[in-house]
């Protein structure tokens, strides 16, 4: 099968790397340079709004999917008249607008922080009065990695936020004092069959995912709740493919933050850490094939490489370390790769992760949890990992 992918970043890259071993080929369409997918298939540089380029792209492939949720839903609906496209326009529409997304969660009985639709500065004041401060004010569209967000701690911030966010329709959400951030990744196949990966614990810095630990150490009950929420979304959206749902844990409860109708950064660990990777399962769903097992094979930690690359190749000798590079030029704030560390037990994982810190670019360390980074205090000598160690 020739699979067309809208978007050509690292997610498209890893989809192709999962599909090529199974004998599939790929064609990407993206307005950017497509450096991450160079050599992995055909590439059309075009806007998602360019009807001619889109028509040629669609005619050249058997199936279409996307790796980027801000593809115009109308464009995806047009594609659907020519070729099977998964997940469908419905899932895209619902997840592109934070207000519609939150309303969907509420309709399906999935708990969220309290939220209000904001059309005017007056709405903002009213909402803040009702829900209380601090609160998070977000654009309804096109935010990612912490962009398009503003945390208001006092009434005076509201006017500033309104202007800073461009005086457009917004959503105000109550500030969740969460114990930790989790995510669940699920997949649904063409016949409605679903699979779910174990919950993942995520650590952000500057609004960008820095570290995922999988499986998260949670009660079975929490896993069941998370799967139930994801299941409702997958079924309601008649979804085909992988969907990620970000959650806040407060006490023993889960609150949905947002969903992504695509493979997700918090699922990169599945390449080495699960029986079947999220990328392979997404392709299986898109191609009408049975889904693969989602059980974890070990304990995994995924560290994003952001803004710079590791310089020391000894990183490769760290036991259990698996380096993934995205063929992107490093720029501040840009995800240019990730490292997954695998281990048989959680203590061993944490030890290996501590060792890994020695080989990571210094700019990453301030954004990682302190207990990890403390392990590379100057002068401290850690056991040097050897390739035969694990």
Cα Rg for the chain, rounded, in angstroms? 21
Query: Footprint of a second copy on residues 41-60 (CB under 8 A)?
Result: 41
Residue reference for tokens 């701690």: 153
Give the shortest CB-389-to-a second copy separation in angstroms. Answer: 7
Give the residue, chosen from 31, 84, 292, 307, that forms a contact with a second copy under the rule CB under 8 A. Answer: 292
- Our finding on whether 5 is near a second copy (CB under 8 A) is no
- Our finding on whether 390 is near a second copy (CB under 8 A) is yes
- Our finding on whether 337 is near a second copy (CB under 8 A) is yes
Rounded Cα–Cα distance for residues 387 and 63 (Å): 42
DSSP 8-state symbol, 197: P
Contact status, residue 265 vs residue 204, Cβ threshold 8 Å: no
Rounded Cα–Cα distance for residues 83 and 2 (Å): 12
Query: Footprint of a second copy on residues 108-167 (CB under 8 A)?
Result: none
Give the residue, chosen from 80, 133, 323, 373, that forms a contact with a second copy under the rule CB under 8 A. Answer: 323
- What x-and-dash track marks residues 190-209 binding a second copy by CB under 8 A? ---x-x--------------
Rounded Cα–Cα distance for residues 272 and 322 (Å): 8
- Our finding on whether 294 is near a second copy (CB under 8 A) is yes
Q: Which stretch binds a second copy (CB under 8 A): 89-97, 125-133, 162-170, 292-300?
A: 292-300
Give the shortest CB-91-to-a second copy separation in angstroms. Answer: 21
Element (H, E) at 14: helix 10-19
Pair of tokens at residue 104: 């969907």
Q: Which stretch binds a second copy (CB under 8 A): 44-52, 210-218, 245-253, 318-326?
A: 318-326
Give the residue, chosen from 63, 102, 282, 284, that forms a contact with a second copy under the rule CB under 8 A. Answer: 284
Angle subtended at Cα 227 by Cα 346 and Cα 294, rounded to the nearest 5 degrees: 55
- Our finding on whether 289 is near a second copy (CB under 8 A) is yes
- Our finding on whether 275 is near a second copy (CB under 8 A) is yes
Contact status, residue 29 vs residue 44, Cβ threshold 8 Å: yes
- Our finding on whether 22 is near a second copy (CB under 8 A) is yes
Q: Quick one: 241 or 320, whose CB is closer to a second copy?
A: 320
The phi, psi pair for 333, rounded to 5°, reads 80, 0
Give the residue, chosen from 6, 8, 40, 301, that forms a contact with a second copy under the rule CB under 8 A. Answer: 40
Contact status, residue 352 vs residue 321, Cβ threshold 8 Å: yes
Rounding to the nearest 10 degrees, give the CA dihedral for residues 67, 307, 352, 368: -100
- Our finding on whether 293 is near a second copy (CB under 8 A) is yes
Closest CA to 199 of 181, 187, 178, 176: 181
Which positions lie near a second copy, rule CB under 8 A?
Answer: 14, 17, 20-23, 25-26, 38-41, 193, 195, 275, 284, 289-295, 297-298, 313-314, 316-317, 319-321, 323-327, 337, 342, 387-390
């Amino acid at each position: 099968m020739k699979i067309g992918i809208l978007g050509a970043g690292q997610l498209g890259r890893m989809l192709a790397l999962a599909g090529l071993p199974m004998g599939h080929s790929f064609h990407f369409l993206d307005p950017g340079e497509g450096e991450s997918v160079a050599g992995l298939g055909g590439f059309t540089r075009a806007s998602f709004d360019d009807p001619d380029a889109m028509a040629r792209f669609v005619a050249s492939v058997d199936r279409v999917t996307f790796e980027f949720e801000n593809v115009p839903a109308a464009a995806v609906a047009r594609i659907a008249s020519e070729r099977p496209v998964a997940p469908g326009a419905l899932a895209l529409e619902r997840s592109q607008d934070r207000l519609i997304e939150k309303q969907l969660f509420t309709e399906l009985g999935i708990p969220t922080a309290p939220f209000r639709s904001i059309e005017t500065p007056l709405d903002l004041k009213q909402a803040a009065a009702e829900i209380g401060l601090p609160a998070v004010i977000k654009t309804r569209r096109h935010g990612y990695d912490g962009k398009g967000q503003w945390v208001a701690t006092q009434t005076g911030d509201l006017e500033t936020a309104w202007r800073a966010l461009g005086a457009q329709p917004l959503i105000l959400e109550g500030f969740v004092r969460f114990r930790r951030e989790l995510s669940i990744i699920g997949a649904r196949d063409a016949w409605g069959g679903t699979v779910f990966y174990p919950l993942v614990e995520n650590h952000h810095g500057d609004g960008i995912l820095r570290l995922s630990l999988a499986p998260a150490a949670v009660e079975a009950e929490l896993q069941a709740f998370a799967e139930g929420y994801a299941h409702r979304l997958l079924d309601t959206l008649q979804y085909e493919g992988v969907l990620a749902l970000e959650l806040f844990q407060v006490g023993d409860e889960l609150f949905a933050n947002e969903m992504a109708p695509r493979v997700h950064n918090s699922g990169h660990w599945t390449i080495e850490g699960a029986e079947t990777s999220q990328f392979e399962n997404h392709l299986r769903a898109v191609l009408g094939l049975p889904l693969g097992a989602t059980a974890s094979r070990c304990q995994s930690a995924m560290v994003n490489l952001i803004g710079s690359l590791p310089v020391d190749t000894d990183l490769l000798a760290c036991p259990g370390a698996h380096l993934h590079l995205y063929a992107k030029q490093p720029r501040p704030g840009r995800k240019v790769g990730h490292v997954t560390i695998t281990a048989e037990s959680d203590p061993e994982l944490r030890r290996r992760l501590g060792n890994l810190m020695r080989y990571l670019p210094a700019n990453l360390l301030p954004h990682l949890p302190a207990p990890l980074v403390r392990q590379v205090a100057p002068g401290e000598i850690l056991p040097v990992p050897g390739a035969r160690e694990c």
